[in-house]
Chains A and B, each alone.
Chain A
Amino acid sequence: MSIDVDTARKVAKLARIRVAEADLPLLARELSGILGFMEQLNEVDVSGVEPMTSVTPMRLKRRVDEVTDGNQQAAVLKNAPDAREGFFAVPKVVE
């Protein structure tokens, strides 16, 4: 699979990463290279093999329904560029 300049531009936008127009051709080539490298995996015949989701057989860990966390408004807001009256304050987003 090869990534063209338009796809690279779209992926950058969806990921909210600013990429200068002049840098897009190089980025597209590099992404294509990465995907091409990984496509070698397609040469392995995995028909009839269940996808492996864990190296060791493990059951998804569960928690019980108890309130054990929270009440740390100051800590949650500590790294916010702007916080007011207990809220995160962000540039206006209105539908």
Chain B
Amino acid sequence: MLDLTHTPPKPKVIAGARHDWELVIGMEIHAQVSSKAKLFSGASTGFGAEPNSNVAFVDAAMPGMLPVINEYCVEQAVRSGLGLKARINLVSAFDRKNYFYPDLPQGYQISQLYHPIVGEGEVLVEMGPGIARHVRIERIHLEQDAGKSIHDMDPNLSFVDFNRTGVALMEIVSRPDIRGPEEAAAYVTKLRQILRYLGTCDGNMQNGNLRADVNVSVCRPGQYEKYQETQDFSHLGTRCEIKNMNSMRFIQAAIDYEARRQIAILEDGGSILQETRLYDPDKGETRSMRSKEEAHDYRYFPDPDLLPLEIEQAWVDGIAATMPELPDAKKARFMGDFGLTDYDANVLTAELEAAAFFEAVAAGRDGKQTANWVINELFGRLNKEGRAIAESPVTADQLGGVLDLIGSGEISGKMAKDLFDILWTEGGNPAEVAAARGMKQVTDAGAIEAAVDAIIAANPDQVEKAKANPKLAGWFVGQVIKATGGKANPAAVNALVAAKLGL
């Protein structure tokens, strides 16, 4: 797509022993659908339950049990597709991907290889003001998650829990459009943000609700451009797939390690073997998953237990009609309506709740000042105390009240910070707290003038110095504010001091 407002970021270049190399990265993100029940059974998707308690006989693959699809999961896949500006396929179908593993009781995973529910879309990944990569989405398909194996409870046995077996996943497959570890992390961050805005996946990476498989290859500079012109993969290097990562830090470290491993092999005259690898965060390296290789013949075929999934355009239109404002649109609106910088708009739109808080405060007030207060004072304090925005002791109304007191000149910026602190720890109505604590800056010209006169009369030496060097007038301003107990309006004092000294 032609984009006149962004320039693409420079690809990451790694200098090898012999020459430069570039990275080419494609990703498969597994995002757990935010459903209460599983994709094909009525068992709960709840995290952290007793082992094998969230299991229906369908999930345990008991003979004769048949899958019945959860319509909410289908809706969330469509909603995610619309959020990625993707084509929605009104007819899709489920296939069986066959392999044996203890955490897969059916002996196959129900997935959508041949006819996915969502087709080609796009994600805008910003890497700085005016710099962004358009990452093409190839498809999104619905599939079942596998169970969980625990290997450290017994020296000779693995323990298997089927609670996660059959939970709905959206596998979001990108084209190889990502060109470095930082871009890969930014892509995952952006995708996670969009899914969270849509409410289709909670994005909790720690619980494994968003996981990434990363395909990495390296090529000589210039080769990637040839690929983009022709879409012919032969211009690119052989790729390796690093499986199942659930941390932005690990994703970046694994890509960096894997690229350097491949470069070392190629520069040594060797060739890359296409294989599946695992990242070991303790050792900081990737290693081959040989067991997966043997089983790579998945013998896909259409699942005879499930008819094709047919949805109606009117139903899709109904979902489209309830789409929320998405991150790109919200950011653009914040910059346009409130005059925010690119950076501030990014920070304030990162999470939906934070954006809503900002908007509630900014309504009818100065956008930039509100942004400063929300980002510096509110977020600063929340981060320090490890709280989420929903747990903020200061509400949007209270923060708005503080800003109103600054705006009317009743309190100074310094007083406002003190007031914010009191509201944070003790609560209360901002105007009432300010009045009760005697927080009121003196704007009365007469009172300030008297203080200025007194300081000038008491310090004739300083007056002479200031007349020679106007920069020293600041000393008088400081003295006056001190003399008024910090309550004098600094702007008013500045003006009076300058006038009295004849500067």
CB–CB B52/A60 < 8 A: no
Assess whether A18 is interfacial by the CB under 8 Å rule: no
B465 to chain A, nearest CB (A): 76
In the complex, what residues of A have CB within 8 A of residue B10's CB?
none
Assess whether A71 is interfacial by the CB under 8 Å rule: yes
CB–CB B53/A71 < 8 A: yes
Q: With contacts A65-B36, A73-B51, A93-B149 known, is A87 near B44, CB below 8 A?
A: no
Chain A residues numbered 43-94 whose CB sits less than 8 Å from any CB in chain B? 53-54, 58-73, 75-77, 82, 84-94
CB–CB B70/A85 < 8 A: no
Supply 13 further A-B pairs (C-beta < 8 A) apart from A70-B55, A86-B53: A60-B309, A61-B68, A65-B70, A66-B36, A67-B37, A72-B53, A76-B60, A87-B51, A88-B52, A89-B160, A91-B156, A92-B158, A93-B102
Contact segment of B230-238, B289-297, B345-353: B289-297
Mask, B139-165, CB within 8 Å of A = 1, is: 000000000011101111111111000
Main secondary structure of the interface of A (DSSP, over half): loop
Assess whether B41 is interfacial by the CB under 8 Å rule: yes
Assess whether B226 is interfacial by the CB under 8 Å rule: no
Assess whether B278 is interfacial by the CB under 8 Å rule: yes
Q: How far does the alpha carbon of A59 sit from the alpha carbon of B60 in the complex, in Å?
A: 26
In the complex, what residues of B have CB within 8 A of residue A86's CB?
50-53, 161
Q: With contacts A73-B53, A89-B154, A94-B151 known, is A60 near B308, CB below 8 A?
A: yes
Tally of A interface residues using CB under 8 Å: 37
- Selected from B149, B295, B307, the residue in CB contact (under 8 A) with A53 is B307
CB–CB B44/A63 < 8 A: no
Assess whether A23 is interfacial by the CB under 8 Å rule: no
Assess whether B89 is interfacial by the CB under 8 Å rule: no
Q: List 5 A-B pairs, Cβ < 8 Å.
A: A62-B74, A65-B70, A76-B60, A86-B50, A92-B155
Chain B residues numbered 19-75 whose CB sits less than 8 Å from any CB in chain A? 35-37, 41-44, 50-58, 60, 68-74
In the complex, what residues of B have CB within 8 A of residue A54's CB?
307
Beta-carbon nearest neighbor of A64 in chain B: B71
Assess whether B100 is interfacial by the CB under 8 Å rule: yes
In the complex, what residues of A have CB within 8 A of residue B50's CB?
73, 86
